[in-house]
Homo-oligomer: A and B are copies of this chain.
Amino acid sequence: MNNAVDTDTRLEASVIPENELQALDAYWRACNYLAAGMIYLQDNPLLQEPLQVKHLKKRLLGHWGASPGLSFMYVHMNRLINRDDLNAIFLAGPGHGAPGVIAPVYLEGMYSEVYPDVSQDALGIKHLFRQFSFPGGIGSHCTPELPGSIHEGGELGYSLSHATGAIFDNPDLISVVAIGDGEAETGPLATSWHSGKFINPIRDGAVLPILHLNGYKINNPTLLSRIPHDELEALFIGYGWKPCFVEGDDPMIMHQKMAAAMESCIADIKRLQKQARQSGQAKRQIWPMIVLRSPKGWTGPDFVDGNKVAGYWRAHQVPLTEVHDNPEHLTLLEQWLRSYRPEELFDQEGRLSPSLQALAPQGYRRMSANLHANGGMVKRNLRLPDFRDYAARVGSPATSSAMNTRPLGAFLRDIMQMNNSNFRVFGPDENTSNKLDAIYEVSKKLWLEDYLPEDDNGGELSPDGRVLEMLSEHTLQGWLEGYLLTGRHGFFATYEAFVHVIDSMFNQHAKWLAIAEKLSWRAPIASINYLITSTVWRQDHNGFTHQDPGFLDLVVNKSPSVTRIYLPPDVNCLLSTADHCLRSQNDINVIVCDKQSHIQYLDMDSAIAHCIKGLGIWPWASNDEGEEPDVVMVGCGDIPTKEALAATALLRDAFPTLKIRFINVVDLFRLTPESEHPHGLSDRDFDSLFTTDKPIIFNFHGYPWLIHRLAYRRNNHPNLHVRGYVEHGNINTPLELAIANCIDRFSLAIDVINWVPGLKVRGAHAKQDFRDQQIACLQYAHQHGVDAPEINQWQWPFAPVTD
């Protein structure tokens, strides 16, 4: 317990001289005035007239509670940026306290630079107030529209992981991150305190977390605000931080305490970085943090109608709600607003007084203007080796096997090597399991804690690694988002079933991107790239809990401008897809590909051509030879493609005259109309591929209904029959799992017999034969615990066609 600093002992030290203290407080008052004004005023922005109902917004929206504390942190950081020429950004975990961030952003001029209508004068302040949480205006969180924001804070839990991602490979940057004590109760935030264990003091910058203990959520006290001091201190020491406590409510005393705490923290950060950088020894550091215990709705009304407001949960949103109809409330509001003495802060024209203007950092040192918070501005494109160099050698299609993700691992390895300060790979303890371990040849897993002798025996750990592994998808996703939003590149490989853990984070990032890409001043950032592997069809052994291909169903609901889904069937298609994704911008790329050994289909040139088209006929597997087929067989996904091919082979044996067209789909959004998604295929092209009247047997990797959701408007939709995972799982062999969900070769062949007109009678014998084979396979599996060799070693049995 001896590494905590009690700042109380320096209380009398008066860190800030009196004149500077007065100015700092005035600047903070200006912030608080603007924050309250945003919630209430649509006119009379400087209170140059007595306040009247007509000056008020009709609908009072916004969250006052967290705002003063956020401004307090912001202005104190400004002081140190100026003093030490720091390079810093600010993240507000409680993003609903946006007024407390917008205010200082406006005061330092950046808001007006981006939005000239919100000028640095009375008219501009009026606009600032009016547009806040107003239709056609800006939202009530730290949305993408807010200069300097990389963290909206709408959904709670990710502030600290975002802040940490931002400083990876940014050795000079400091992320100052406010963490609400409400947010601190969430799971993602609770584990993200371990982020400190992943900050390399040489290679990375620093995070300065400020836990804002203002005591209350919407209607409840917060857990952390009511535990004993010793327990709170122990918790953060336990998490690996050195907590500094700043506690109280008298602004002048609190300014001194906060200044002392922040100076101490910045000094600690500089010292730890210097020691490590001079010695060249990177190891885990006990980084400083601040616990700011200040009243909720600080400086706002203390009591309203006899009810406690400031310092209580009632201050969470709008402290005075009856201002339109209750003259007492209107008077209280005017008194509150005038308590900040706006006339001392702004001149008659609404310009901040020059002495206060001087307190803001200049140019790019302003946290609102820091280029790292508009990451596309500092983004460099990745240097990429030629992905064709990693190709699997594929001769005749579907006759050889390879582990699909292994060559990707080699590709990522070389990307890692060629981009040693702006590319990282993320995964929850599964990169080896996912066959991407070639990466470790050039960059090991980051590990800054203690080492044991056995770590040399296959540990693949390094204090300088840029592969980040932690058993928290939330933290990884948060880090990656922070890394991308500050202009770098990344790759996230994870188990298919457990990507649902971060469904809501995906949703929020998609929403951020959809807004951000419409803002001309926000430069595009690198896409987020997911490799979804250990997929449902090879989770036969882990069982039902590990079988869930439903992430795609979530992805398709988000804005078409940012969502992309690829299901490459083999190594070369995966490489081509990955290369495309790594070059893209502002997208969310979801690549689904299993890690185990799978049959290979396309040589590299064919794979490239196929991936560019996104879907297409495989002539070598088709026998319709340019004519209208009897049936269209479709594979989408590695294993469904193999089974669909095997079904095609069964059928061609049984019905030599049956004309089967074989199509593989890589780019899922090709299936949707072109009006719905930029990748959508035209109806004309769709019809020419899928016909307008022939049965389509579509073997899909995921839940089958997703295909109907995408293709229901297509002309031939009535003849579209989709197979996919229908939640029939248990402990199985791979083929047994396929059979349980009817995506196996036998079921598909029977589907064709059932759906092709005229085949039902003619095919009765074949159908029985397919059923018998299916049963024999199940019997083999139940006897031996594995699938029969002829299933595992199946190859396309026909000679290649030269097309």
Contacts and interface: CB of A to CB of B under 8 A. Distances in A.
B185 A471 contact: yes
A566 to B, nearest CB: 20
Interface in A393-437: 429-433
Contacts of A498: 155, 504
A301 interface: no
A553 interface: yes
**Residue picked from A138, A197, A508, most chain B C-beta under 10 Å:** A508
Contacts of A559: 727
Given A235-B235, A307-B458, A503-B504, A185 B472 contact: yes
Interface in A450-471: 450, 452, 454-455, 457-461, 469-471
A452 B733 CA distance: 60
Interface string A701-713: 0010110110010
Contacts of A240: 227, 231
A140 interface: yes
A670 interface: no
Contacts of A136: 731, 782
Interface stretch (A218-226, A366-374, A684-692): A218-226
Contacts of A474: 186-187
Given A140-B541, A189-B187, A541-B61, A234 B223 contact: no
Q: How many copies does the complex hold?
A: 2
Nearest to A236: B238
A156 interface: yes
A222 B449 CA distance: 10
A603 interface: no
A223 B194 contact: yes
A758 interface: no
A666 B372 CA distance: 49
B445 A220 contact: yes
Contact of A553 (B554, B733, B784): B554
Interface string A490-501: 000000011011
A307 B457 contact: yes
Contact of A433 (B218, B232, B239): B218
A504 B473 CA distance: 12
Contacts of A183: 471
A585 interface: no
A371 to B, nearest CB: 25
Nearest to A222: B471
Nearest to A224: B194
A187 B157 contact: yes
> How many of chain A's residues touch chain B, expressed as a range?
35 or more
Nearest to A286: B231
A101 interface: no
Interface stretch (A45-53, A542-550, A573-581): A542-550
Contact of A190 (B137, B187, B543): B187
Given A154-B542, A543-B154, A59 B786 contact: yes
Contacts of A507: 497, 500, 548, 550
Contacts of A220: 429, 445, 461, 469
A134 B540 CA distance: 10
Contacts of A541: 59, 61, 133, 140
A312 interface: yes
A507 B155 CA distance: 21
Given A235-B238, A498-B155, A733 B135 contact: yes
Given A430-B218, A504-B501, A191 B197 contact: no
Contact of A709 (B58, B472, B705): B705
A254 interface: no
A497 B1 contact: no
Contact of A237 (B238, B450, B556): B238
A58 B712 contact: no
A148 interface: no
A554 B702 CA distance: 12
B135 A785 contact: yes
17 contacts: A135-B781, A139-B731, A140-B543, A154-B545, A154-B546, A155-B545, A182-B429, A191-B191, A226-B449, A226-B452, A234-B234, A234-B238, A508-B545, A511-B545, A556-B705, A706-B709, A708-B712
